[in-house]
Amino acid sequence: MSRQRHPLDPLFMPRSIAVIGASRHPGKIGYTIVRNLLESGYKGRVYPVNPSAKEILGLKAYPSVLDIPDEVDMAVIAVPVGLVNRVAREAGEKGVKVLVVITAGFSEVGNKEAEEELVRIARQYGMRVLGPNIFGIAYTPIGMNATFGPSRIREGNIAFITQSGALGIALMGWTAMNELGMSAVVSVGNMADIDVVELSEWLADDPHTRVIAIYLEGLKPGTGKRFMERMREVTRKKPVIVIKAGRTRRGAAAVASHTGSLAGADTLYSAAFKQSGILRANTVEEMFDWARAFATQPLPRGRNTVIITNGGGVGVLATDAAETHGVPLLQPDEDLVARFRRVMPWFGSPKNPVDLSGQAGVDNYVGALRVAYESDKVDNIIVLYCQTAVLDPIDLAKAITDVAEEYRDKQKPLLVAMVGGIETFEAMKILNRKNIPAYPSPERAVSSLAAMLRYTWYREKTTRGTRTD
Amino acid sequence: MSRQRHPLDPLFMPRSIAVIGASRHPGKIGYTIVRNLLESGYKGRVYPVNPSAKEILGLKAYPSVLDIPDEVDMAVIAVPVGLVNRVAREAGEKGVKVLVVITAGFSEVGNKEAEEELVRIARQYGMRVLGPNIFGIAYTPIGMNATFGPSRIREGNIAFITQSGALGIALMGWTAMNELGMSAVVSVGNMADIDVVELSEWLADDPHTRVIAIYLEGLKPGTGKRFMERMREVTRKKPVIVIKAGRTRRGAAAVASHTGSLAGADTLYSAAFKQSGILRANTVEEMFDWARAFATQPLPRGRNTVIITNGGGVGVLATDAAETHGVPLLQPDEDLVARFRRVMPWFGSPKNPVDLSGQAGVDNYVGALRVAYESDKVDNIIVLYCQTAVLDPIDLAKAITDVAEEYRDKQKPLLVAMVGGIETFEAMKILNRKNIPAYPSPERAVSSLAAMLRYTWYREKTTRGTRTD
Domain boundaries, chain A: 9-293, 300-462
pLDDT per residue over B454-468, tens digit each? 999 999 988 765 544
The class level of CATH for B9-293 reads alpha beta
**A-B contacts (CB, under 8 Å):** 224
- Provide the chain A residues 316-355 that lie in CB contact (below 8 A) with chain B: 316-317, 319-320, 322-324, 329, 347, 349, 351, 353, 355
- Answer yes or no: do B422 and A177 touch at CB < 8 A: yes
Distance to chain B for A316, nearest Cα, Å: 5
List chain A residues with CB under 8 Å of B283.
Answer: 317, 441, 443
pLDDT profile of chain A (469 residues), mean per 10:
75 98 95 97 97 96 98 98 98 98 94 97 98 97 97 96 95 96 97 97 98 93 90 97 90 72 73 94 96 98 97 95 96 97 94 94 98 98 95 98 98 98 97 98 98 95 61
Q: What pairs with residue A414 in β-bridges?
A: A381
Residues in chain B with CB shorter than 8 Å from the CB of A319 are 246, 248, 250-251, 253-254
Of B170, B284, B311, the CB nearest to A167: B311
Q: In A, which residues are within 8 Å of B30 by CB distance?
A: none
CA distances from A107 to A112, A144, A252, B327 (A): 4, 28, 18, 32
Check CB contact under 8 Å for B425 and A258. no
Q: What is the pLDDT of residues B88-113, one digit of tens each?
A: 999 999 999 999 999 999 998 899 99
**In this structure, are residues B381 and B414 in contact, taking their beta carbons and an 8 Å threshold?**
yes
Q: Which of A27, A174, A255 lies closest to B420 in CB terms?
A: A174
The class that CATH gives domain B299-462 is: alpha beta
Mutate to test the interface with A, among B319, B385, B424 (most CBs of A within 10 A): B319
Of residues B171 and B4, the one with the higher pLDDT is B171
The pLDDT assigned to A3 comes to: 52
Q: pTM, whole model, 2 decimals?
A: 0.94
Using pLDDT thresholds of 50, 70 and 90, give the confidence band for residue B258. low
The string over A121-160, giving b where at least 16 C-beta atoms fall within 10 Å of a residue's C-beta and e elsewhere, is bbeebebbbbbbbbbbbbbbbbbbbbbbbbbebbebbbbb
Q: How confident is the model at residue B40 (pLDDT cuts 50, 70, 90)?
A: very high
pLDDT of residue A468: 46
Is B393 at the interface with chain A, CB within 8 A?
A: no
The residue length of chain A stands at: 469
CA distance linking residue A48 with residue A175, whole number of Å:
29
Q: Which CATH architecture has domain A300-462?
A: 3-Layer(aba) Sandwich (3.40)
Please list every residue in chain A whose beta carbon sits closer than 8 Å to the beta carbon of residue B106.
Answer: none
Is B96:B65 a contact under the CB 8 Å cutoff? yes
Closest residue of A to B384, CA-based?
Answer: A167
Q: Give B 66-105 residues with CB within 8 A of chain A.
A: none
The reply to whether residue B319 touches residue A164, judged by beta carbons under 8 angstroms, is no
Q: Is the pLDDT of residue B432 over 50?
A: yes
Contact B173 A422 (CB under 8 A): yes
Which residue of B lies nearest to A215 if distances are taken between CA atoms? Answer: B313
Indicate if A300-462 has the same CATH topology as A9-293: yes
* Chain A residues touching residue B390 (CB < 8 angstroms): 27
Q: ipTM of this complex > 0.90?
A: yes
Nearest-CA distance from B169 to chain A in Å? 7
Of A164, A255, A324, the CB nearest to B248: A324
pLDDT attached to residue A254: 79
Is residue B365 predicted with pLDDT exceeding 60?
yes
| Average pLDDT score over chain B | 94
8 Å CB contact of A248 and B170: no
Per-residue pLDDT tens digits for B396-427: 999 999 999 999 999 999 999 999 999 999 99
pLDDT in tens, B48-104: 999 999 999 999 999 999 999 999 999 999 999 999 999 999 999 999 999 999 999
Instruction: Give tens-digit pLDDT for B281-327.
Output: 999 999 999 999 999 999 999 999 999 999 999 999 999 999 999 99
What pLDDT score was predicted for residue B1?
43
